[in-house]
Structure 1
Amino acid sequence: MINNINADVVVIGGGPAGLNAAIAAGRTGAKTVLIERYGFLGGMSTIALVYPWMTFHAEDGRQVIRGIAQEIIDRLMALGASPGHLRDTVGFVRTVTPYDPEIYKVLAMDMLHEAGVKLLLHSFVDEVQTEDNRIISITLTGKSGRFQVSGRVFVDTTGDADVAHLAGAPCELGRMGDGLTQPMTMKFRMKGVNVPAVKQYMIDHPDEFYYKTPFQELAQLPLTAVGGFSRHWKEWGPAIPRSDVLFFIGPADDEVLVNTTRVQGLDGTQVEDLTKAEEISRKQVLQVAEFMKKYLPGFEKATISQVGAQIGVRETRRIKGQYMLTMDDVIEGKKFPDVIGRSGYPIDLHDPKGNGVKAAWIQGDGTYDIPYGCLLPIKIVNLLAAGRCISTTHEALGTTRLSPSCMATGQAAGTAAALSLSYGDEPKNVPIEKLQHLLRANGVILNDADCRCEEAWDE
């Protein structure tokens, strides 16, 4: 039986948000614990093969997300595990950032150890103890039995707002009205792909691919992403509710990550729904792979090389926070006095019922602010949220759920959690100017004056 653990900051969830939160808190000297239910880190980036990271930049090429997120990219590049930021050859965003997930898993652990963070893998949160609207401890279940982790401040980066929900903090699930969520997707990799043949087909048949594909530059750009083959998809006539094929190149030169399966109408917080989603999506993987091998140029000798450890979940619970980011906020490029992070990713809303993806582009300078209030749940005073479960509407989640945005909110939440130890253990009491100063000192971009535009992207 493991002994009960005491900490200053307890982070639950080892995805991009949780990793950045724990590193940020640990680097301040706060006694920090990171809890992850799987045997490795990375969250959806590794568990569900969410690849590549999209995007660290505004549409005009200005980098708007840096800090610990960029440090991770720099260290991956030094290890030969990422080429850095490359142009998105689908054209949906300015850049994508490929990476080797296996090396990322190891680097994540190294960075946690360097920051003095205690890591607990194979540990699942199943109970939260509260008193006077304050979390006292959480109960974990694992191979060694059940044990408690006590803390002064907690950061929920579970993606599903599990801790907030168990603590009694108000949450929302899905879109207003019917509660439906964006569909789930089982991603998979195929190796043995003739990537030059794919690229040549795109150049020769531009009408079959996404309208924002940079065809005029395509011959000179490394192929990073492909959205299309719409004619082939339509002729195949699958039961999968999509209108085309989407895949990304890498990590190997002859390998692609396929993001094309789709499971709708199920709730990612319910065991029976998740079970059904796994069954449906794994059959879809075989169907899509067979289609690609049989019909798509360049895939004649391709085979499945990897399937996600679990289905990828885009949307479940979100906290009700001190502020709820809306679609209008994003589209208008709204700026907030309590900004703790920025993003240049547009609204990307996978239809809960239909076969399309609804997109809405950011106006103004092509960026929007994420305010601190989105990280502060109503009711529970010593809890922060980061990543996919921050306070947004269903529509605004279509941008904040992306990994670089999650990294940004994670660093902000971890920094705020550590800082709040000096302000009564309540994150809402943290002076926003102090928090913003610490974030900037650690490389975070909060406005255009913080940008280092000369390093915007690599071609």
Structure 2
Amino acid sequence: MERTLQADVVVVGGGPAGINAAIAAGRQGASTILIERYGFLGGMSTAASVYPWMTFHTEQGEQVIKGIAQEIVERLMAQGGSPGHLRDTVGFVHTVTPYHPEIYKLVAIDMLKEAGVKLLVHSFVDDVEADGGLIRSVQITGKSGHYRVYGKMFVDASGDADVAYLSGAPTLQGREGDKRTQPMTMKFRLRGVDLEAVRRSMIENPDNFYRKTPIAELDRIPLTGVQGFYSEWKAAGVSINRDQVLFFTGPADDEVLVNCTRVQGLDGTDIEDLTKAEEEGRRQVLMMAEFLQKWIPGFAKASISSVGTQIGIRETRRIEGLYSLTIDDVVTGRKFDDVIARSGYPIDIHDPSGKGVTAAWIGGDGAYDIPYRCLVAREIRNLLAAGRCISTTHEALATTRLTPSCMATGQTAGTAAALAVAANAAAADVDVKKLQHALIGGGAVL
């Protein structure tokens, strides 16, 4: 027998965007259900070891993402789960925010409980009931069979636009033309790393590292990330289609998170492609660990301590919203009347087929606006998107997909969903001024 549940707001996806959406909706007084397919929260931040969070600040150092996202950081800091925002020693952005994934999982649960949110884990959404431009319910499947979850408003924070796709709402995927997406990456951690040896190598060989690395500061700030070792990579001839080493330090003093594997040409929404990607990603992990141990200073005694539960996915489907953010909007630092979040993260496109990364920085005051219209799905009146699957072009997704930006759009989607329920309005008809007022009241920066 199929069981039923009902709420004002139903959020699908328990990653950073979905967590913040559910907290925000609950705090607005809406009865809220959060659905997550794994047995724990955190999405790519925990299941795929996406680490650290990048970035809450502009290149000039202004913090433009606060609200629930900042509350989470402060709770983590209070529990010894984060040192807070630190200088990015890669130099790609101004700050990174290390965090302990296990502590984050529980901080999220505590905040959801405080907001009155009902959480359902081990629950996979495999069907959406939609009629006349409205979603009536989603079906979840798990150990106890099928549940039918009814709602007034739905937030798609699945990362893959699953709810939008299953509802019949228009979705897009990849870049225009060939629909290729940014590559997937299997991330892993190593313990036993001598980070002082790494630091010395950077200071002694600055030309072997990313051009924006703050070499002159390395003797007085914590080492948070490293991009480079170009000569070692080239000499070793590693058969991974990229051109440098990239890793981030922590959470432990002898620990790094390695972001070097690259699985290209596969579709993260296709189970056969995902099967291939998981295998290839794990093979590359062992290859990378051996390379680091043999070639990179400080890694001789390092060993693998963890590998992502699943491969990390940068890009799959996204909704076709009332507006699609463009690369021009980002690099010009464009401002919108219906702004609901800001971000200082640059364009960061990992080549779908080549070795490199295409980067472009933000002009103006160093931040661009994300308009509310990017969260509003076409053709489905009670559906909002949050996180990686909001409405953008392929190029603009290369900044909005980063976790702090996803947290910010999550807070917006949950707040807007609750306001829509209270006003008995469609997502597109939410009073944007009231929404902006509520977001600012919740600590957001607009």
TM-score range, shorter chain: over 0.9
Confirm or deny: 8 A CA contact 2:17 2:409 kept in the other structure.
Answer: yes
Q: In structure 2, how many angstroms separate the alpha carbons of the residues matched to 1:325 and 1:86? A: 29
1:88 is the counterpart of 2:103: no
Confirm or deny: 8 A CA contact 2:17 2:411 kept in the other structure.
Answer: yes
Confirm or deny: 8 A CA contact 1:183 1:265 kept in the other structure.
Answer: yes
Deviations 1:10-41 (A, max 9, x none): 00000000000000000111100000000000
Shift of 1:232: 0.4
What residue number does 2:352 align with?
352
Gaps of 5+ in 2: none
In structure 2, what residue type is equivalent to 1:88? Answer: D
Q: In structure 1, how many angstroms separate the alpha carbons of the residues matched to 2:65 and 2:443? A: 9
Shift of 1:131: 1.3
In structure 2, what residue type is equivalent to 1:374? Answer: C
Shift of 1:425: 3.8
What residue number does 1:42 align with?
42
What residue number does 2:268 align with?
268
1:100 is the counterpart of 2:100: yes
CA RMSD between the two structures? 0.7
Alignment of 1:300-315 (within 5 A): 300-315=300-315
Confirm or deny: 8 A CA contact 2:2 2:148 kept in the other structure.
Answer: no
Gaps of 5+ in 1: 447-459
What residue number does 1:189 align with?
189
In structure 1, what residue type is equivalent to 2:151? Answer: G
**1:421 alignment partner, SS class:** helix
In structure 1, what residue type is equivalent to 2:431? Answer: P
Shift of 1:216: 1.1
Q: Segments of 4+ in structure 1 off by > 4 A?
A: none
Q: TM-score, normalised by structure 2?
A: 0.99
What residue number does 1:392 align with?
392
Confirm or deny: 8 A CA contact 1:152 1:425 kept in the other structure.
Answer: no
What residue number does 1:451 align with?
none
Q: Percent identity?
A: 68
**1:253 alignment partner, SS class:** coil
Greater CA drift, 250-259 or 421-430: 421-430
Q: In structure 1, how many angstroms separate the alpha carbons of the residues matched to 2:30 and 2:423? A: 14
Shift of 1:422: 2.5
**1:261 alignment partner, SS class:** coil
**1:176 alignment partner, SS class:** coil
Deviations 1:109-168 (A, max 9, x none): 111111000000000000000111100001111000011000000000000000000000
What residue number does 2:112 align with?
112
Alignment of 1:214-229 (within 5 A): 214-229=214-229
1:129 is the counterpart of 2:119: no
What residue number does 1:453 align with?
none
Q: TM-score, normalised by structure 1?
A: 0.97
Confirm or deny: 8 A CA contact 1:171 1:318 kept in the other structure.
Answer: yes
**2:46 alignment partner, SS class:** helix
Confirm or deny: 8 A CA contact 2:278 2:310 kept in the other structure.
Answer: yes
Q: In structure 1, how many angstroms separate the alpha carbons of the residues matched to 2:325 and 2:216? A: 36
What residue number does 1:450 align with?
none
Confirm or deny: 8 A CA contact 2:3 2:146 kept in the other structure.
Answer: no
Q: In structure 2, how many angstroms separate the alpha carbons of the residues matched to 1:131 and 1:296? A: 58
What residue number does 2:70 align with?
70
**2:423 alignment partner, SS class:** coil
What residue number does 2:151 align with?
151
1:362 is the counterpart of 2:336: no
What residue number does 2:375 align with?
375
Q: In structure 2, how many angstroms separate the alpha carbons of the residues matched to 1:4 and 1:423? A: 25
Shift of 1:3: 3.0
Shift of 1:2: 7.0
What residue number does 2:336 align with?
336
Confirm or deny: 8 A CA contact 1:266 1:274 kept in the other structure.
Answer: yes
Q: In structure 1, how many angstroms separate the alpha carbons of the residues matched to 2:340 and 2:305? A: 39
What residue number does 2:320 align with?
320
Confirm or deny: 8 A CA contact 2:14 2:157 kept in the other structure.
Answer: yes
What residue number does 1:29 align with?
29
Confirm or deny: 8 A CA contact 1:153 1:425 kept in the other structure.
Answer: no
Confirm or deny: 8 A CA contact 1:2 1:144 kept in the other structure.
Answer: no
In structure 2, what residue type is equivalent to 1:76? Answer: L
Deviations 1:250-270 (A, max 9, x none): 000000000000000000000
Q: 1:305 to 1:2 in 2, by over 3 A?
A: farther
Confirm or deny: 8 A CA contact 1:340 1:409 kept in the other structure.
Answer: yes
In structure 2, what residue type is equivalent to 1:352? Answer: P
Deviations 1:190-219 (A, max 9, x none): 000000110011000001100000011111
